[in-house]
Amino acid sequence: MMYRLLADAAMVVHFAFLAYMAVGGFLAWRWPRTIWIHLAVAAWGAMSVVTGVECPLTLVEDWARRQAGQDGLPPSGFIDHYIEGVIYPEEYTNVARLGVAVLVLFSYAGYVLRRQ
């Protein structure tokens, strides 16, 4: 039971992390100090896309699901399992990535303009 709760918690935190990566820069418009947190999150997201490094939250969820006697995440990972083919078709992966990048850049441009 505890492993299943841990796996579910890792999944929820992972979704929150991805949502913050996409739109968290806009929070810095209201709370400017949060820009540093968002820069770190955005850098991690960009690095994981470019290098393919696996997110620790994916590893935790996969391990906890296996410990709970469930199937773990597929080798393709969290995004391929929960998002691609569910929220958008797989062939639009690059469009989705570009959309997130545009959101982040727009939020940073707005942050800079609001700080002036």
d(CA 18, CA 1): 26
Percent of the chain, pLDDT > 90? 86
Give me the number of domains the chain comprises.
Answer: 1
* pLDDT, tens digit, 9 for 90 and up, residues 1-35: 899 999 999 999 999 999 999 999 999 999 999 99
Q: Which domain holds residue 69?
A: 2-115
Q: Is residue 116 pLDDT above 90, yes or no?
A: no
d(CA 86, CA 67): 26
89 secondary structure, DSSP code: -
* pLDDT, tens digit, 9 for 90 and up, residues 84-114: 989 999 999 999 999 999 999 999 999 999 9
- H helices within 1-116, ranges in order? 2-30, 35-51, 56-67, 78-82, 93-115
What pTM does this model have?
A: 0.89
Q: Is residue 76 pLDDT above 90, yes or no?
A: no
Contacts of 72 (CB under 8 A, 6+ apart): 62, 63, 65, 66
d(CA 21, CA 26): 10
